[in-house]
Amino acid sequence: YYFCGCQIIAESILDKSSLKNKPDDDLFIFLDGAITSDNSDLIAQPGDVISGSTLRRLLKSFEITDEVILLSISPAEGFNGSGYGCP
């Protein structure tokens, strides 16, 4: 979907390797699943919003649950506005 100059995508993630190439400036909202520590502490959980750069740093040290559903928000290509928010 496109809204106010942004592309919004909901995606199901089954393998953390598919998250490693996400753009630094994209925003990610956890809808289901989590990033967890070795002793099952929740590092990022539903409702949390993090950037692509933070996501990549967390994935170097932590694992994801079996399935993570994320809503990603990124500036739409070719949009002449500020990128996030309505012009």
From first to last of the 87 residues of the chain, give the pLDDT tens digit: 888 888 999 999 999 998 888 999 899 999 999 999 999 999 999 999 999 999 999 999 999 999 999 999 998 876 555 555 555
- Please say whether the beta carbons of 8 and 29 come within 8 A: no
- Angstrom distance (rounded) from CA 32 to CA 86: 27
Q: How far is CA 49 from the centre of its chain?
A: 7
Q: How many angstroms from the chain centroid is the CA of residue 64?
A: 12
